[in-house]
Amino acid sequence: MTRALTWIGLALFLLLILVPFWWIASMSFKTYEQIQFATSIYVPRPFTWENYTGLWTETRFPLWLRNSVVTALVVTLITTVVASLGGYAVARLRFPGREGVASLILILYLIPPALLFIPLYRVLAELGATNHLAALFLSYPTFTVPFCTWLLIGFFKALPEELEEAALIDGAGRVTAFARVLLPLAAPGLVASAIFAFTLSWNEFLYALVFIQDETRITVPVGLNLLIYGDVFHWGQLMAASVITTIPVVALYVFIHRWMTEGLVAGSVKG
Amino acid sequence: MSHRRLSRRAVIAGALGTTAALSLPRLGFPQIKKGTSLRMWILKTYVEPTNKAIEASAQRWAQKHGASVTVEYFTFEDMQTKYVAAIESKSTPDVGQLETGAPARFAGMGQLLDLSGFAKQIDSQSGKAPANVAPVTTLDGKTYSIPWYVMGAFWYVWRDAFDKAKVKLPSTFAEAKEAAQALTRPKDNFYGMGQSWNRTADGYGVMQSLMYSYGVGWAGKDGKYKSIKTPAMQTAMKWATDIYKDNLQPADTLTWTGSGNNENFIAKNIAQTSNGPSITFALENALAKATDAKDKKMKEEALANHVALPHLAGPDGRRMQAIAMSMGVFKGSKDPEAAMSLIAHLVSPEETVMVMKDSYGQFAPVLEKAKAASKDYFNKNDNYRTFGRAAEWFAPTGWPGHVTAAAAEVQASNVLTDAPAKVIVDKWSVDQAIEWEDKKIKEIYDTLKG
Amino acid sequence: MSSRPRRRFGARSRETGTALLFLLPLFVLVVGLIFYPFYRAVWLSLTDKLVGYPERFVGLRNYIYVANDDAFHQVVWNSLVFTVVSVALKVVTGLAMALVLSGVIRGRNFFRGLFLLPWITSTVIIALTWRWMFDAFPGRGFLNSFLLDLGLLSQPIAFMATPAGAMAAVIIANWWRAFPFFGVSFLAGMASIPRELYEAASVDGAGANRRFWHITLPGLKHVMIVTTLLSFILTINDFNIIYVMTRGGPGSATQVFSTYAYQVAFGQLRWGRGVTISIFVVPLLVIGIILISRYLLRDRR
């Protein structure tokens, strides 16, 4: 790649990726009139915070934000526990059918929510969990756990076994070896897995849409969808909400982007 | 909290018992136990003050009886899914506000309490509903909900645009189309009409108004399926598709969301559109928020120039499909008597008028006494006088039959607006579209139980 | 390391017990919330379940209805067009991105991270963003504003008002979101191609073009296949982007499997039929999963 081509390509990709984000952000600082009458398209003039304050005081956005945060935290907790336990078993323990379990975990990740959402709805309705965040606590792990388990298997396998073996020889049980020896070593991996679980949970839409109806109990993605198809005179607020929703994920992402290649494509590159 | 479904016997016995108890004439309503707690679902409209007013009315009842009411909202968009969810998870509210098709649908599922006896008491307290509204609330001769108000749809026009082009204000669909032709100026980005066949009330509601005004109904007076393959339907479908084919509307009209026509009308991109009173509300609101003298003048002019005409008429009459709101009691309610007391309170003339005063005209009471009491409010100006007449032109879903579960599903299945879309987008012929629509409707009637 | 036990005693069976313990939460989750609903789904598809009414067994009636439904035929076509075009675009753009980034030495990590922004953003927000990019209302629609300003347009274009336009719009949103994933994967794949191959080829007088076609592409074959299959599976089941951008419209121009199933199940309240629509995707899924598993697990020990 000649240098010139590289720089042109870089510039084009930068534009392609950043322009849509900038469009939303800039609209979030425009007044309703400015958007409605298409004045001063590219730069917000006057620059205003009213959409952000309005979002907070006039809509249910704060509630939705709370719901999203609570859901993401609870699901991350559940996921990390289940995934690290299961991942350890596949990575370290020898038992019949181990390869089968590894394959199964991958396959589970590929089952689309679009297939399960109707029967899952019935099951959750029978448990009385619909229209409560509990429905999400139960259903989100169905896609976060397989993915995070797969991720952690890779992490655990990359850690040296000697320390655990030493512990085992000293008479410690597998559980102690897991908890006292491996986990501290695997901390970076656990953090990555937790952040993935948080992000997957934060961005999820279909289950949140179908399982919860009460406007005070929905999560942010569902709330945004509601705003656009409902009383839509608050375009600026909708943009502001989009900006606010994206920030946590981007912030967390700074920590894990190193692992995006390694973890995300776990195995597909290394074969 | 889920509980095993009661045996059919138990449910029927309970319903019969309750009905029997209620049909005995009573002088007043029974004492409500202190501390009774009820859940009520109401529609969240675009006009926030109305929603708050209804809640306030419910709280007044709660205060009077030392009880408590929790109000939860559903929107036009999630009406279906919310009630569906509640039915399947057995978490229906005690009192539910029901839109036009809902009493038939839910009663058909056995979810609503028979309120025939209770309805008679309401008759004496608040007056009867007019004959054209009653079919919404009854199924097989029994009454399942108490009608409260009609949210009418009206034909909004910009009078100044009409005056300037020397075009008469339209009274019929044919006139509206002619006017649109005279008013459209694509170069100035100004179009004569904005009617979207989208999957909202602005779409399927107007399509029904169109059909019914041309005398076309997919069900007969007996509520059974009737073919729509008639010359009148041809004319109606042609109207619906010509306004697109002749470029009388903005290019993206078909993809508008529910408020797309509001926005375009207020921005003066279109000269005519069908809508509920929320456009007037938006303009009144904008005036109240005017920033300076110039802005104020502009908004005053807008308010003065916009006219809400009675919804368009066809050769067979002036029929307006609209949302008729009624209140029902769900069988799962633990305290049906309290629920009924709450309903009686809400639909009483005094309370109704209080709510209506905060409704910016979208709330046209149907029960006689409340209607009489609201005359002064609607006398405010021409637009409001038109709003107040909404119940006159009301035609229920499934006209000329009464509302049935099948009729409600026809509306919910989007076939009414998908048909013109096929002509406009997929370039089908009008005949093909009507044939397809007729087939789909027949299918629904054939496969639906009850 | 073979996992086939030759004798069951001592360490092996003790480990099996521990393994079961560690795997228990996973199994409970999987069986209770994935297998059981899946089994219920299959059962539901054989009934005429309508919300509010008890269901009745009707055998294959739903399947026959759906297979003959012309709306469903359009859904299948839309889903395939959406998926194939989108994935193809992603592969090409991903390659371009990987090539560009591989030429950047200083700050490569920074740019790689930056370019992944669309991938980590919520798809609902991406759908809303692109809805506005294509909006016909100049105040909201970036493309229309931009083209109007440049004088290339005299009237705003309603991009999403035609079937082709709407399909293009949702494809673009889906592509924009996902191509960085391809780019990053390919970049990592390129890094694992031995330098010697390139050096040898240069010595032999091969130009950049030939090196690309004969070394880079073959070297990326494994990554490309896995990423493409993965993306195919995820894209054909996409709900969020299409639902938020067009709701499947105009008409049914962008209706795909998941949005149609949703409409039938929650709009028309016919759950039996709704589930059946979802189940029609299963054969495609199974093929995709088998292929991926074979590639992903092939060299694993």
pLDDT of residue C17: 80
CA distance C268 to B411: 10
Query: How close C274 comes to chain B (CA, Å)?
Result: 13
Is there a single domain that holds both residue A70 and residue A36? Answer: no
Report the 10 Å Cβ neighbour count for B51: 19
Interface test with C, best of B81, B425, B428, B432 (most C CBs within 10 A): B425
The per-residue pLDDT of chain C, averaged, comes to: 86
Contact C231/C90 with Cβ under 8 angstroms?
yes
- Asked whether residue A269 carries a pLDDT value surpassing 60, the answer given is no
Torsion of CA B325, B330, B334, B336, to 10 degrees: 60
When pLDDT is cut at 50, 70 and 90, the band that residue B25 belongs to is very low
- Asked whether residue C69 carries a pLDDT value surpassing 70, the answer given is yes
Is there a single domain that holds both residue A106 and residue A226? Answer: yes
Kindly state the tokens that stand for A229: 């198809």
Is there a single domain that holds both residue A41 and residue A70? Answer: no
Is there a single domain that holds both residue A91 and residue A211? Answer: yes
Kindly state the tokens that stand for C176: 């924009």
What structural domains does chain C harbor? 69-297 (1.10.3720.10)
Count of domains forming chain A: 2
Contact B322/B302 with Cβ under 8 angstroms?
no
Kindly state the tokens that stand for C262: 């949703």
Is there a single domain that holds both residue A209 and residue A140? Answer: yes
How big is the B-C interface in CB pairs under 8 Å?
Answer: 76
Q: Which of A121, A230, A233 sits opposite B77 (nearest CB)?
A: A230
DSSP chain C: -----SS--THHHHHHHHHHHHHHHHHHHHIIIIIHHHHHHHHHHTB--BTTS---B-TTHHHHHHHH-HHHHHHHHHHHHHHHHHHHHHHHHHHHHHHHHHT--TTHHHHHHHHTHHHHS-HHHHHHHHHHHT-SSTTT-HHHHHHHHHTS-SS---GGGSHHHHHHHHHHHHHHHHHHHHHHHHHHHHHTS-HHHHHHHHHTT--HHHHIIIIIHHHHHHHHHHHHHHHHHHHHT--HHHHHHTTT-STTTT--HHHHHHIIIIIS-BHHHHHHHHHTTHHHHHHHHHHHHHHHHTT--
Is there a single domain that holds both residue A25 and residue A83? Answer: no
What value of ipTM does the predicted structure carry?
0.83
The per-residue pLDDT of chain B, averaged, comes to: 86
Residues of chain B contacting A, Cβ within 8 Å: 1-2, 44, 46, 72-78, 81-82, 85-86, 88-89, 91, 257-259, 263, 267, 282
In sequence order, what are the beta bridge partners of B272?
Answer: B157
Report if residue A54 sits inside a domain: no
Report if residue A269 sits inside a domain: no
C-proximal residues of B, 87-106, CB under 8 Å: 87-88, 105-106
Contact A51/A243 with Cβ under 8 angstroms?
no
- Summarised one tens digit per residue, pLDDT across range B89-104 is 788 999 999 988 889 8
pLDDT of residue B29: 53
When pLDDT is cut at 50, 70 and 90, the band that residue C147 belongs to is confident
Query: Chain B residues with CB inside 8 Å of C50's CB?
Result: 448-449
A94 CB-near residues (< 8 Å, 6+ apart): C1, C3, C5, C11, C12, C15, C19
Is there a single domain that holds both residue A64 and residue A151? Answer: yes
Is there a single domain that holds both residue A111 and residue A217? Answer: yes
- Summarised one tens digit per residue, pLDDT across range B351-394 is 998 998 888 888 889 998 988 888 888 888 899 999 988 888 99
Is there a single domain that holds both residue A41 and residue A110? Answer: no
Contact B204/B414 with Cβ under 8 angstroms?
yes
Residue in C closest to B105 by C-alpha: C52
- CATH 3.50.50.60 given to domain B154-320+413-447: no
- Asked whether residue A230 carries a pLDDT value surpassing 80, the answer given is no
Is there a single domain that holds both residue A166 and residue A68? Answer: yes
Residues of the domain holding A26: 15-48
Report if residue A174 sits inside a domain: yes
State the span(s) of chain B assigned CATH 3.40.190.10.
Answer: 8-152+322-395, 154-320+413-447
Q: Tell me B196's DSSP state.
A: -
Min mean pLDDT across A19-33, B211-225, C55-69 is at A19-33
- Summarised one tens digit per residue, pLDDT across range C18-57 is 888 889 999 999 899 999 999 999 999 999 888 877 888 9
Query: How close B109 comes to chain C (CA, Å)?
Result: 5
Could you name the CATH architecture of B8-152+322-395? Answer: 3-Layer(aba) Sandwich (3.40)
Nearest to B248 by CA among B267, B265, B224, B272: B272
Is there a single domain that holds both residue A30 and residue A124? Answer: no
Q: What percent of chain B has pLDDT over 90?
A: 48
CA distance C247 to B254: 12
pLDDT of residue C157: 83
Question: Which CATH number do you get for residue A225?
Answer: 1.10.3720.10
Q: Which of C15, C113, C282 sits opposite A94 (nearest CB)?
A: C15
Backbone angles phi, psi at B300, to 5 degrees: -65, -40
Report if residue A251 sits inside a domain: yes
Is there a single domain that holds both residue A74 and residue A19? Answer: no
